[in-house]
Each structure stands twice: as structure tokens, then as C-alpha cells.
A and B are shown apart, each in its own frame.
Chain A
Amino acid sequence: MNMIEVRNITYVYPGEGKPVLKDLSFCVEKGGCLIVKGDNGAGKTTLFRVLNGLAFPVKGQYFFDGTEITEKWLGVSRNSKLFHKKIGYLFQNPDTMLFCGTVYDEVAFGPRQMGLSDDETDRRTRDCMELFGITDLASKAPYHLSGGQKKRTALAAVTALNPEVLVLDEPFAGLDRKSKELLKEFLKEYHEAGKTLIAAVHDENQCELPAGEVLELQVV
């Protein structure tokens, strides 16, 4: 079954005539892995915004887990929350993802939202911090961290929601060798657990991802 199905979508930024994405179609099945490549300005980030329901194509359809994602459907608060629970999004710039006072609060934000008990929340938070090696940063403020630490905090915060689909915009950019290994290992296991991955990477990092289909975007 297809987790994500995109049919002939075209996206134009409001007020601009030239489309960023044009007549794009692809599918990703449940538990699949899609690697998105393309030059700067080819629309990788735009595509990810569409996939996460943050931007809506002017033409074409986008189905997530069998449901068509439209502005109207997401306008219902319940639908939107359910959708965002199932799909996690790591921004290209982790700086703009962190708004809590401590790393712990940042990671715990998702589990708290899901209405988990305090014990459960604490367990998930600690697990995720452990997983990305940020346990000793728990009481630090997110933006006092280095770029790589911020990225790992953002990753922990997204994965604490345990999303079915994980969308990663340049996950390896700005990470050192050790963090890269950590992330590579994590993505492999996460993928093996049956979760769907979609990631934008440059050529040199493609080998860090589980094998998957490649979608090459062209500058329109």
C-alpha cells in the first residue's frame, strides 16, 4: 500500500508566475525509502513543505495514507493533529525548530502533546536523548548549543512523536563524523522497524541512507 502518493502536483509561490514544482508524480510505499536529489533551487524544501501540509499545490493531488491532503481537510484541527502526528519533519535549519527553554522540554514536547502519562513521557524523552547522545545536555538551553547538537536535539524532538513517516531535509549537513554514524545507524534501524523515510541529500551522503528509490528534481 502506498503511504504517500503524489499526482501531477504543480506549486507556484504566491505572487510569482514561475512554478517551483511542475507536474511532479511519485509514490512511496509503506516502509519505503525515498531519496530526493536536485540542485539548489530545484524545489526540495518546497516539496517537503507540501508533503508536510505546510504548502498546498495549485494543481494536482497529494494522498497520505489513502487520504487526500487539502487545505480544507487540514483546516479541521483534529485532522491536522492526526496528520502531523504521523509525519515528522526535520527542517534544514534546526535553529528554527527549537522554542523551549531546555533540551529536555524540547524533546518532551511531543510526548506531552500526545497525552502520555508523566512516566511514559519521561521514558520516551530519555530514550530519545540517549539515542542521539544528548542526555548530558538535558538542562541546557537549545540555542546555546553548537550546530550539530541543535540538529540532534531537533531530531530527538521529532522522533519522540514516533512518526510513521520521517521527512528529513539535508539531515547530514553540518554533522561531524561521529554524529553522522549515529544518525546513519538510527535511520537504518528506524527503517527496519517499518517506518517510511523521505530524505533530501547530496550525492556524497547518499550512501549514509538505507537503499531506496531516488527522485531527481530539476530546476524548472
Chain B
Amino acid sequence: MIPEWMTLTDSRELPEGSSAFAVRTIKSVSAAVGKLRFQQGHEKKYAVPALVKLILLVLFIVFLSLNRSVLIMMAYTAVLLLYLSTWPPADILRILKGCLGVSLLTFVLLVPAMLMNPDGVQSQILLVWKVFLSILMVSIFNHTTQWNHITAALRKLHVPGIFVFTIDITMKYTVALGRFISDLMTSYLIRAVGKDDRRYQSLGGVAGVTFIRGTQMNREMYEAMRCRGFTDDYRGL
């Protein structure tokens, strides 16, 4: 028998309260998970091997960081933008959005320094420019390289197996737990109909449950690995 209050319609005023943090969390987690999923297959068929790309990337970044010549920076810019201009528009947008955002942030951070020392403006502009180019290179690398090829490259560089394995399963768990967090937060949001005086507890609950779910998933995965013959030897993974 359902209780009597349930047969009635609630017509009371709801107390005011903000749950903006839940909305924002759902947005940022979904964006990150989307990006990780997107990461799965964006490589061209005849691409330069990931290992070569990775080494080149680091070399280019070091070289750029050491460099003082505007001419060389212009050359970097020309090559990168020219390459980028051959891409489909949607991909260009995705890349430029991130790069410009970070560059803008750098610029804002440097404004006080420029105001304090007007002579140094030129070198600060160069710094912003360098930040833009570095992020652009990393984004292009990331956009054209599948993650599993990067980890394969790390293996070839003799990075310890347990480390590479950890990176691999981190990707897997992040997508799974990220979805889990957005579902929990959604469930919080649609039940948070008034003022939540215990928002920190709720948030602690969301994070805590995610942690517990993560350890459960880990146990299940370990058991599945054992069932398929894994003998605690991470080197072979």
C-alpha cells in the first residue's frame, strides 16, 4: 500500500539553491571523455611511425624553446599553418580552439609584466608565440596519432612494461569512470531539486563512489586476466 502523501500532488515552494558545479562537471568530464574516445581513430593510413613522430615532436619543441630567432619562428608558423590548411575544416577548428585558448591565457598572464616593463614587451610576445606553436605541434601530433601507437612507441623505447600497461589501462578506466561520473552527476542534478546544504558531502559521495567502482572494475579486470593465463608478469604485457 503506498503511503498517503504519495497519492497527493506536492505543491510547496522549492527552496533556492545552486548546483552549477554539477552542470560544469558534467560538461568538462563529457568533453574530456569525448576527446579520449575521439582519440581512438584519427590516424591517416600511411602515417609516419608514431615513434619517429614522438621523437621529432620532442626535438622540435626543444629546438623551439632554445631558439631566439624570429625568422625560425616564422618558418615554424608557416610550415605548421600550411600543413593545417590542408585539413578538413572541422579538424582545423578543433585544433585552433584549444591552441588559441591557451595562448590567450598565456597572454593575459603576461600583461602585468608588459605593463611593468614596457621594454620587454617584444620578448613577451615572442613567449606567447612560442606557446602557441608548441601547443599547435602537440595538438597536431595528438590529432594524427592513435594512442595505442604512442604506447607501442613507448614500448619500443624500452619504457618498463608496467608503466606502459598503466597508461593503457588508464585510458580505458578514464573513459569508463568518466561516463560513470557524468551519470552520477546527472542523477544528482535531477534529484537536486532544492537547496543542498551538504554539497561537499554529495560531491565527496560522487568521487568516493567513483573510486570504489574503479577498484571493483580493477578487481574484475585482474580476475579476467588471471582467467586468461596472466601470471603477474607485467613485462610481457
**Contacting residues, chain A, for B144 (C-beta < 8 A):** none
Q: Chain A: how many interface residues by the 8 Å CB criterion?
A: 46
Q: Which stretch, B4-12, B78-86, B95-103, touches the partner chain A?
A: B4-12
Task: Determine if B196 and A113 form an interchain contact, defined as CB atoms under 8 angstroms apart.
Answer: yes
Q: Contact: A113 with B6, CB < 8 Å?
A: no
Q: In whole angstroms, what is the CA distance A100 to B85 when docked?
A: 50
| CB nearest to A141 among chain B residues | B212
Contact present for A193 and B194 (CB under 8 Å): no
Residue of A82, A98, A99, A101 contacting most chain B CB atoms (<10 Å): A99
B-side residues, CB < 8 A to A, are 1-3, 5-10, 12-20, 34, 180, 183-184, 186-198, 202, 205-206, 208-209, 212-213, 216
Which stretch (A153-161, A172-180, A200-208) binds chain B? A153-161
Q: What are 28 inter-chain pairs, A to B, with CB distance below 8 A?
A: A15-B34, A77-B19, A77-B20, A81-B17, A81-B194, A82-B14, A84-B190, A84-B192, A85-B193, A88-B190, A93-B183, A99-B202, A99-B205, A100-B202, A113-B196, A114-B10, A114-B193, A115-B15, A115-B195, A124-B5, A127-B3, A127-B5, A143-B209, A159-B6, A161-B193, A162-B8, A190-B2, A194-B9
Residue A219 lies at the interface, judged by CB distance under 8 Å to chain B: no
- Per a CB cutoff under 8 Å, which of B2, B187, B209 touches A91? B187
Partner of B183, one of A96, A157, A161, A164: A96
Cβ–Cβ contact B190 & A52, under 8 A = yes
* With known contacts A84-B190, A143-B213, A96–B180 Cβ distance under 8 A: yes
